[in-house]
Chain A
Amino acid sequence: MDDSITLKGIKEGLLVTVKPDGRWSDLTGRLITLIDGQGSFFRGAQVTLSLGPRELRRHELANVRKQLEERGVILKAVLSDSDATLDAARKLELRTTLHVTELVEEQSEALELRPPPIDPEEYGSPGVMVKRTLRNGRTIHSDGHVVVVGDVNAGAVIVAEGDIIVWGRLRGIVHAGAGGDESAVVCALHLAPTQLRIAGYITISPDDKQRKPRPEKALVRNGRIEAVAWE
């Protein structure tokens, strides 16, 4: 049994304790899987993250908050021994103690009518940017998106859990949504991959050399991969 993440009900909602070792992206992935695995059980829950000495930056916290929000789970507070993490949490207007939580809670309940604040900043999702031609024999793995400014030559391989965007010719092998995300897409100025996979689907390029290349986007639709104009 994996004990890197533990959940515990407390007065303030749900206390999620994440062990201080291991890759953050793996752990958040695990947390999300945990939540998804429970259906709508956690919907509306208020979560306090207890992180120990782990140092996190603002966008990392913002990302996990966004992922939780998408599942109807609200990140309320972050408990940490790291000043950097606490600082990042404060910048995101997250609470950093359980105590004050209660006090502020009452206040905010009194001001219920105020609309939620709009966050003017975007925190984006993780990705890899490659500013050169990927030649035969090169492989890129990413648990986010991959953007290539240049060509992806035959024999090069890209495996991404997110989308793959190629600002150039795509002739290699690509796998978008490698973690199973069927909404992932592959875009290229000239889409002519040796093989293209999205989640569990797989296809090859049609054999129409004569056609003038145009920017295309490949996506899963009606149970198969289709290429449409990329506009």
Chain B
Amino acid sequence: MGARVITITSGKGGVGKTTATANLAVALANLGKKVVCIDADIGLRNLDVVMGLENRIVYDLVDVVEGRCKLRQAMIKDKRVPDLYLLPAAQTRDKTAVSPQDMIALANQLRGDYDYILIDSPAGIEWGFRNALAPADEVIIITNPEAPAVRDADRIIGLVEAEGRKIPTSLVINRAKPDMIRRGDMLSVNDVLDILSTPLLGVIPDDEQIIVSSNRGSPLTLDNQKSPASEAIRDIARRITGAKVPIGELERKKGGLFRRLARLFRRSRA
């Protein structure tokens, strides 16, 4: 059996894939899981920066695939958590240096020794995305509550479906702003789910601390801070491990008694 290979992707760039991958990896490792992160964004690697492991890279994914080093030599251990490793992307090559078959072989080599393999997919729907998707047992789609991001997520879900392997897909809505949703200025969680009809894995509220932590190379989930985003990510990690953690804090905060009554009334009429 071995590891579950989870690919994290979005279609659109800049929705927070890499940050979410880093934070989820740390959160899973903190739950006592053995975790590897693979940065599949060859040529535009970032995961190492967000995880704060940039200065320890010697070999990378392309070196492994092309046989210049052993897989273990390229894996960087994050010393701040028990069992977390990073397989960094190459910076000087482009996505065609690796094939989907290479990625499947690589994941299979790692499966035996870990609980979770998280693959950070590049944006877009081309080669790099294909590479990231090839070995996936599961796919997590990250989106923002904004029409362009949701549009791209829809496209990506369609492509994952078209893969024909019936890969379970779930959705994380990142950068939700409860007050904007309340004012009707942002798509609500339900609006997004309505369009994407994909199971919801979690909602991460917009949080300035995320930017700070990315700049520092110290994922928010690392030091168990009480920030809203890190708590949401820890919840998502627990859901990934199978724990029943209710979703909906964000939704429940939305509106007071009157609003809830109004909603109830609308529903009963519908």
Contact = CB atoms under 8 A, between A and B. Distances in A.
A136 B151 contact: yes
Given A137-B159, A138-B158, A155 B151 contact: yes
A137 B197 contact: no
Interface string A94-122: 00000000000000000000000000000
Interface string B140-175: 000000000001101101110100000000000000
Contacts of B155: 135-137, 155
A155 B195 CA distance: 12
Interface residues of A, number: 13
Tell me whether chain A's interface is mostly helix, strand or loop, or mixed: loop
Contacts of A136: 151-152, 154-155, 158
B94 to A, nearest CB: 24
Interface string B157-199: 1110100000000000000000000000000000000010100
Interface residues of B, number: 11
Contacts of A133: 197
A151 interface: yes
B183 to A, nearest CB: 15
A146 interface: no
Interface centre among A135, A155, A171 (most CB of B within 10 A): A135
B34 to A, nearest CB: 35
A49 B157 CA distance: 48
Nearest to B266: A212
B73 to A, nearest CB: 40
Interface string A203-219: 00000000010000000
Interface string A145-168: 000000101110000000000000
Given A136-B154, A136-B158, A153-B195, 16 more contacts: A134-B158, A135-B154, A135-B155, A135-B158, A135-B161, A136-B151, A136-B152, A136-B155, A137-B158, A137-B159, A138-B158, A154-B151, A154-B195, A155-B151, A155-B154, A155-B155
